[in-house]
Each structure stands twice: as C-alpha cells, then as structure tokens.
C-alpha cells in the first residue's frame, strides 16, 4: 500500500512507530522467528483494526514468563530432593543435553509453542537442580547467593532498560550478536579441552583469568536481558499474536539460566 513502511515482523504494512525499524532480540543468544501478521491501515496499529484479545499484551508476557520460571524452580527442587547424590551428575548432564536440543527447537521455531517452552523449562530445571545440589554440597549457602545475585541482575537490567540508560540500538544488537558468537566459541573450546585432557582450561580453573571470563559471561548474559525486554515492547507495539509471549518467555528463561550458572560458577571461585 503506498505510504506504508516495511514492517519488522515479516509482513508489509506496519507503520513506522517511535522505535523506528524494529530490531531483532537475542534470547540467550537466540530468539524464535516472529510470525507474520495481517497488515494494518496506514497510521494505525494492527490492534486497532482487529480484536484486541488476539494480540499480545505485557500481562501475557509476565504470566507466561512466570509460569516458565516456576516450572524451572519446581523441576530443580524435585531433582535436588528426589535424585540420589551419586546419580545427580548424570541426571544433570541428561537434563542439559535435552535442554540444549529443546532450546534449539524453540529458538528456530517460527511459531512459539507453550508446551515446548515448558518442556525446555523442565529439562533446564533438572539440570539446575543437579548442578545446584552438587555445588551446595561443596559450598554450603552458595545456591541462595547465586539466586539472589541473579534476581539482582535481572531487576538492575530492567531498571536500566526502563530508564533508557542503555538503549537497544542497531549497533548494540550487532555488538551483542558478535559477543554471543564469541562466548559460544569459547564455551565449546572449554568443553573440548576438558573432554580431551580431563582438566579445566585456564578460562575455567578458578584463577584470575577464569574469574575475569566469568564476569565477562555474566555481563553478556545481562545484556541479553535488555534485548529481550526490547523485543517484548516492540512486539506489543506492533501487534504480535498472543502466543508470541511464549517466545519472549523462552528468551528470558534462557538468559536467566545462563546468568545463574555463571554467577554460581563465579561464587565457587571465590569460595575456593
């Protein structure tokens, strides 16, 4: 239609809003594709032409994200309480592998699926429950500290986003994408080094370099939260369907899981 701007969610006909052209979000490094929407009339948001009940709201995001987090916590507690200590590491590895596969499926699935996101949450809960149980056995009290640290970073980044102290610009998105790729490469290097040598690399041995690396990973994970917040706000403004709230929930959950693991690891270095 003449006079309309190209929309950012895969379909033409979305007027350019105050955000300018929309930026993609990074949910722990990945985010499901945005499904296409029916075009709205020029100068009007899509929800002004169709029933508002079919479009995502901030309440949808909060509810879906809360359900996902509660599912993770419930699965983690069940694993911690029910799984014998000698089986915990194996169960944690199994949960991590299943969570990785489900994470890939959720990340590249065009239409977010609530059951798949909750299945991912259960797998990650099993992984976190096993890892947390082992860390708590070695360093009493560390799990509570890591949880408080994760909550603190989440609230802090939400404040940073709402106040506009750091804006999610195209340059920020490019920087974050490069940082996530670099983090993934280094994590794969650490894993490969451990598998071949049976020892932790310098980036994970608890020394000064390992402490700096963990702080860097915590910083990148925290910045992914800003991208998730921005994606949620832009999706609401541009009339995303209600089920896309599950995609936002998945992104936030992936960021929080990564953040918790890195904080837990960093605290263990200081305990040593």
pLDDT digits (tens, 9 = 90+) for 13-72: 333 333 333 333 334 444 444 443 333 333 344 444 445 568 888 999 999 999 999 999
- pLDDT, residue 257, reads 95
- Specify which residues 17 forms β-bridges with: 20
Give domain limits for the chain.
Answer: 56-271
In this prediction, residues 107-129 reach a mean pLDDT of: 92
For residue 133, CA distances in Å to 88, 94, 151, 169, 174 come to 8, 15, 19, 40, 37
Rounded average pLDDT over 222-229:
94
Q: Is the full-model pTM beyond 0.75?
A: yes
**Whole-number mean pLDDT of the chain?**
82
Q: Residue 36 and residue 31: Cα distance in Å, rounded? A: 15
Over residues 88-116, mean pLDDT: 91
Lowest mean pLDDT among 59-73, 114-128, 138-152, 184-198: 184-198
């Amino acid at each position: 239609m003449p006079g309309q701007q190209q929309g950012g969610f895969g379909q033409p006909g979305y007027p350019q809003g105050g955000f300018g052209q929309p930026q993609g979000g990074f949910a722990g490094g990945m985010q499901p594709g945005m499904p296409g929407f029916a075009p709205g009339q020029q100068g009007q948001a899509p929800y002004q032409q169709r029933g508002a009940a079919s479009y995502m709201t901030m309440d949808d995001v909060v509810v879906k994200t809360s359900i996902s987090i509660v599912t993770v916590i419930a699965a983690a507690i069940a694993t911690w309480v029910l799984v014998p200590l000698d089986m915990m590491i194996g169960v944690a590895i199994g949960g991590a592998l299943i969570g990785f596969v489900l994470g890939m499926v959720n990340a590249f699935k065009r239409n977010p699926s609530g059951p798949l996101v909750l299945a991912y949450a259960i797998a990650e809960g099993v992984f976190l429950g096993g890892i947390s149980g082992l860390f708590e056995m070695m360093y009493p009290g560390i799990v509570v500290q890591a949880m408080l640290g994760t909550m603190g970073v989440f609230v802090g980044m939400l404040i940073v986003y709402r106040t506009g102290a750091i804006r999610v610009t195209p340059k920020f998105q490019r920087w974050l994408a490069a940082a996530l790729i670099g983090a993934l490469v280094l994590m794969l290097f650490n894993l490969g080094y451990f598998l071949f040598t049976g020892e932790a690399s310098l980036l994970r041995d608890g020394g000064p370099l390992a402490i700096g690396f963990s702080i860097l990973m915590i910083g990148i994970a925290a910045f992914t939260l800003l991208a998730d917040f921005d994606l949620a706000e832009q999706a609401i403004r541009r009339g995303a369907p209600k089920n896309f709230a599950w995609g936002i929930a998945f992104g936030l959950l992936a960021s929080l899981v990564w953040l918790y693991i890195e904080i837990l690891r960093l605290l263990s270095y200081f305990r040593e």
